[in-house]
A = this chain, B = another copy of it.
């Protein structure tokens, strides 16, 4: 298989998960199903957007409805490719996806990791072609959110729309921080910073256990995200282990000394604009 020639995910298949949502009436009607508190807490989109502002019960209900019936997609499947026409956005409910670009030389740069609760910019559809590719990294539960649903949210759920815009701003701030990471940090610093960021972002959607989380990523993928070679990623990981900062076995990363790891990566979470959430 040529490098990064990945399978493509059938975008709008017959059994699309969103058939059955009736946007025009359901949410307005009285009697939409109240969410179990635990249900809302488990939904990463609701978790995330509530961090950006107060949502109404109707807001939470529509978000839960959107998140219902996700598709299970295997690892390394393209969701949408550079050159494709964007139609709506993808919402990640579980697993890890990424935005990336591949050079003609075969070199690849991962531009962002999409974690549970993350979704693309809500008005990408204004542009006629994608300038990068979005692929799953691990197996994911994914929902394709159609332009109609997005329009519905912006028209009838202003608090959700506002939270989505803030979410987009944070995505952009994260991209800037990645540029700083790759532009002027050493290999060990880059990895330290990346791990701190992932911990904080995953914690915000309750996908961590203490300072430990699932990291189903190869070292080669870490290399593509940090602008390093996989060999050097390997050695830098060993350095972080040797210093007693992390433990990385298989697909589980445990941060053994978060304060020091933050210090090494010069990590400040301000760019994630978590506000008064449990500061990490």
Residues of A in contact with B (beta carbons under 8 Å apart): 99, 101, 103-105, 107-109, 111, 121, 123-124, 126-129, 131-132, 162, 165-166, 169-170, 172-173, 175-180, 182-185, 226-227, 266, 270-271, 273, 275
Q: How far is B128's CA from A104's CA once the two chains are assembled, in angstroms?
A: 41
Contacts of A170 in B (CB 8 A): 127
The answer on a CB contact under 8 Å between A99 and B176 is yes
Contact of A173 among B131, B169, B182, B273 (CB under 8 A): B131
Q: How far is B271's CA from A124's CA once the two chains are assembled, in angstroms?
A: 13
The answer on a CB contact under 8 Å between A103 and B175 is no
**6 new A-B pairs (CB below 8 Å) besides A129-B270, A131-B270, A175-B175?**
A111-B179, A127-B170, A129-B273, A172-B172, A175-B179, A182-B182
Contacts of A121 in B (CB 8 A): 169, 172
Contact of A266 among B99, B103, B123, B132 (CB under 8 A): B103
The answer on a CB contact under 8 Å between A184 and B128 is no
Contact of A109 among B104, B180, B226 (CB under 8 A): B180
What distance in Å separates the Cβ of A91 from its nearest Cβ neighbour in chain B? 18
Contacts of A166 in B (CB 8 A): 126-127
Q: How far is B182's CA from A184's CA once the two chains are assembled, in angstroms?
A: 9
The answer on a CB contact under 8 Å between A169 and B123 is yes
> With contacts A176-B111, A178-B179 known, is A184 near B270, CB below 8 A?
no
> With contacts A165-B126, A273-B127 known, is A179 near B179, CB below 8 A?
yes
What distance in Å separates the Cβ of A259 from its nearest Cβ neighbour in chain B? 16
> With contacts A166-B126, A184-B227 known, is A179 near B109, CB below 8 A?
yes
> With contacts A126-B166, A169-B124 known, is A183 near B182, CB below 8 A?
yes
